[in-house]
Structure 1
Amino acid sequence: MAYDYQAVHALDGMIGAISERRVNHLAAHRTTAIAMVLAAPGQTAEAAGILVANGEFEARFSGPGEWLVLSEVHAPETLAAELGLRLGHFAFVADQSHGRVALTLSGPDATRILANGIAVDLHPDAFPVGRAANVLCNHLSVNLARTGETSFDLVVMRSFADALVGDLKVMARSFDLSVDFATR
């Protein structure tokens, strides 16, 4: 018997179309390709050199010799293969596209919203644009990256995406926040 499986986003049914985007906005990305890269023993510098941003993907620190790589250019099916070709024996690559969800929180109050649940100094001097770290957002482990002066990306395990969105809504209850799927 053949089964016809359809890809369903972890947040389908939880968030939907909004009438207007507010000053602070949380966007869930539908098609971001995500891979985990782990440097081979003694090969961290070589792997890091290959992962320098080139416009096709963005590598974010996830731990010593470990990066989360996101791409809006590659399809989830091809990102891991492309990274495997580029990195060769310098690193190991695992596709995470269907196991993680990428969100973007943007707006003038983004830092203040995140401060309600993240115990990391988010001042631009301590956490500048381009910096990424694994943090706890309330009780959930997320990879947080500052992507702009007032913009942050959060990558969370798929099974915790709805809890994270719920937590962010609560953290933003004193602010004007809209939530929707990203259009990029």
Structure 2
Amino acid sequence: MIRDYYNRHALDEKLRGAPRPPGANHLAIGHRQAIAMVLASAGEEDAVERLLSSVTEFAVRFSAPGEWLAVSENDTPEGLQRRLDTLCSGRAHIVDQSEAHVLFRLSGPSTRRILAKGIGVDLHPTAFVAGASANALCGHISVNLARTGEDVFELLAPRSFAESLFDDLMTMGREHDLTAAFAA
């Protein structure tokens, strides 16, 4: 038997219908971004970290010692992998994670209060500065949390937990009139 499989986003069912205009507090769901895991070879951790810190074309987030996540809104997954392979020149292993993770971008004046309901990380601007990232639990779901702006946070979550995280974030943001839609 031949089956046709089609690629659909993990939150297509949740965000189906006419898009609503974003509110002051908004959850934008990444639809087409490239995500790659960079795993430094043994003894190359410092060199890879220096190389990754020099780039501005894509965001790099600390994930674990010798391990980073690279996120690009402009590259294809293959393009990001080629860039990283060229940049790291054999010092790291690059693994595409684009289909394995979902990007949640939470923005607005109440983002810290919304996230504080489910994340046990100090989100004060002096403790979690712009550009910082950390692995954390949001409720029961493991995420990579990054602060990308003054009142902007991004969460990378495994695709299999996307619906649950979406429901949790919408519940956490209910009193702050959180809206949600796919990112433009």
The two structures share one fold, judged by TM-score above 0.5:
yes
Q: Structure 2 counterpart of 1:14, which letter? A: K
Q: After superposition, where does 1:30-179 map in structure 2 within 5 Å?
A: 30-52=31-53, 54-179=55-180
Deviation >3 Å, runs of 4+: 1-5
Aligned pairs, number: 183
- SS of equivalent to 1:174: helix
Q: Structure 2 counterpart of 1:111, which letter? A: R
CA deviations 1:159-182 (Å, max 9, x no partner) are: 001100000011112111101000
CA distance in 2 between counterparts of 1:3 and 1:139 reads 35
1:31 touches 1:76 (CA, 8 Å); kept in 2? Answer: no
Shift of 1:57: 1.2
CA distance in 1 between counterparts of 2:113 and 2:20 reads 24
TM-score, scaled to structure 2: 0.94
Shift of 1:30: 0.6
Identity across matched positions, percent: 49
1:5 corresponding residue in structure 2: 5
TM-score, scaled to structure 1: 0.94
Shift of 1:85: 2.4
Gaps of 5+ in 2: none
Q: Superposition RMSD on alpha carbons, in Å?
A: 1.4
CA distance in 2 between counterparts of 1:153 and 1:6 reads 27
Choose 15-24 or 33-42, whichever is displaced more: 15-24
Gaps of 5+ in 1: none
- SS of equivalent to 2:22: coil
